[in-house]
Structure 1
Amino acid sequence: MRTSTRPRNDVGQYDDLVGEWWRPEGRFAMLAWIAAARGRLVPPTSRPDAVLVDLGCGGGLLAPHVAGKGYRHVGVDLVRSALELAAGHGVTPVRADVTRLPLADGCADVVSAGELLEHVTDLPATVAEVCRIMRPGGLVVIDTLADTAVCRFLAISVAERMPGGAPPGIHDPALFVDPDALVAEFARHGVRLRTRGLRPQVRGLLRWLVTRRGAAPMVPTWSKAALYQAIGTKEETA
């Protein structure tokens, strides 16, 4: 049963839940597990002054998983309370809408869009901005929710009732993202995406549900019917 009185996908919910970002047993626990999996896709850089732009950075959950890889970590979010937390974890905060980024063309060596795209109401504009700020040869890493009946059942009917699952009302299933449509949208901007499914390790998830300790590692899976990752590189200019 939903407990939030806000509309689905209302950004104000993140202010209501600001104390949950870093609680291992809290409502954002799975976001932390997913951030760890996303961080594994980010390679160390050999470039001086390399920049990682973390779109929808929230409370900065990606930070520990890219620390030491050589990037200046810039976090973009609409939620001031979340940005304040992220700043405490070494993230340079930028309060902005992802469809109108106050960042220069080609400024990012890596763009992360973690659990973001299923919240945006203008996917083409968001993708265009992601690709605009990527430097040629730059990398994008993504995780998001698929536009399928399976995902709507798992993310809404199941996860909103499961401890550690999505907070009630945090998602609007009308915004879930078809993997093939996402690949096609990025291709329009010279970025070829590869996609794969992602799920919690069953044993780890069951242990966490019983004990509320540790983490459930996220592992790749063949099915992209629910949660999936995408990774792509922007074409080099001639």
Structure 2
Amino acid sequence: MRNRNDPRQYDELVTEWWKPDGVFAMLHWLAKSRGALVPPATGDSVLVDLGCGGGLTAPHVTGYRHIGVDLRQPNLSVAAHHGVVGIRGDAQRVPLADECADVVLAGEILEHVEDWRACVAEACRLLRPGGTLIVDTIADTALARLVAVRLAERVPGGPPPGIHDPALFVPPKGLVAECARHGVALRTWGVRPAIIPALRWLRTRRDGVPMVSTRSHSILYAGRGVKHAPSTSAR
């Protein structure tokens, strides 16, 4: 029996990425929500997508050179079919230069790495001053462990069994503080599927489900922030 959060699971699930009614259904909904937070591209804009998986965010961003970083080559092969330039690498040690990106996405990745702080540091390192960081992840709370693991793994469209290790979930206040430490002022909010469309999807398995904002950060939450330019001393 494999441990929770074993990345080899993604190799076995690689054909599921683009099935809107498959095991990654909610990731489609989150990808659309995430894409709506990306600012318009200008000129030669670069977007780095950490833990890009099968490239689900690609249809929701335009005008960017979309670079996807992922540990699993099968994921990158799928993402390449959707216009993502794949780089095999660890989100905690990204093989890209400092300040190379106008936007960094860290969607549903922080709760899958052994050291989420290292991943945040890398995301901020990659951003140019004025660049935008967009994240979504699972909160380190008892409610999230109940809902996102024990319950969601039993619901169609929820995460595959064993895909999450609740020991890796991320405290919202800790994430905001860590981003600030690396020069990014992150604003966060809770997110959840819209209830009526979600119930309809469970019945029909058709159409997407919009993600809506909530005041509670207790389960899923998202964030967006901008990297400050370095301060300069007055002459």
Give the TM bin, normalised by the shorter chain.
over 0.9
Answer yes or no: is 1:55 the counterpart of 2:50: yes
Select 2:180's aligned residue among 160, 181, 187: 187
Select 1:35's aligned residue among 31, 38, 52: 31
1: CA distance, partners of 2:25 / 2:2: 21
Aligned-residue Cα RMSD (Å) equals 0.7
2: CA distance, partners of 1:170 / 1:45: 33
User: Structure 2: which amino acid aligns with 1:158?
Assistant: L
| Offset of residue 209 of structure 1 | 0.4
Answer yes or no: is 1:7 the counterpart of 2:3: yes
| Offset of residue 123 of structure 1 | 1.7
1: CA distance, partners of 2:204 / 2:131: 41
Select 1:118's aligned residue among 88, 92, 111: 111
Residues 36, 62 of structure 1: 8 Å contact kept: yes
The aligned counterpart of 2:89 is 96
1: CA distance, partners of 2:30 / 2:153: 17
The aligned counterpart of 1:217 is 210
Query: Within 5 A, what are the aligned runs for 1:22-171?
Result: 22-46=18-42, 48-66=43-61, 68=62, 70-171=63-164
1: CA distance, partners of 2:33 / 2:146: 23
| Offset of residue 65 of structure 1 | 0.3
1: CA distance, partners of 2:208 / 2:64: 26
1: CA distance, partners of 2:123 / 2:2: 29
| Offset of residue 6 of structure 1 | 2.1
User: Aligned residue pairs: how many?
Assistant: 231
The aligned counterpart of 1:17 is 13
Q: Helix, strand or coil: the match of 1:64? A: helix
Residues 119, 175 of structure 1: 8 Å contact kept: yes
TM-score relative to the length of structure 1: 0.96
Residues 114, 142 of structure 1: 8 Å contact kept: yes
Unpaired stretches in structure 1, ≥5 consecutive residues: none
Q: Helix, strand or coil: the match of 1:193? A: strand
2: CA distance, partners of 1:58 / 1:45: 22
Unpaired stretches in structure 2, ≥5 consecutive residues: none
Q: Helix, strand or coil: the match of 1:229? A: strand
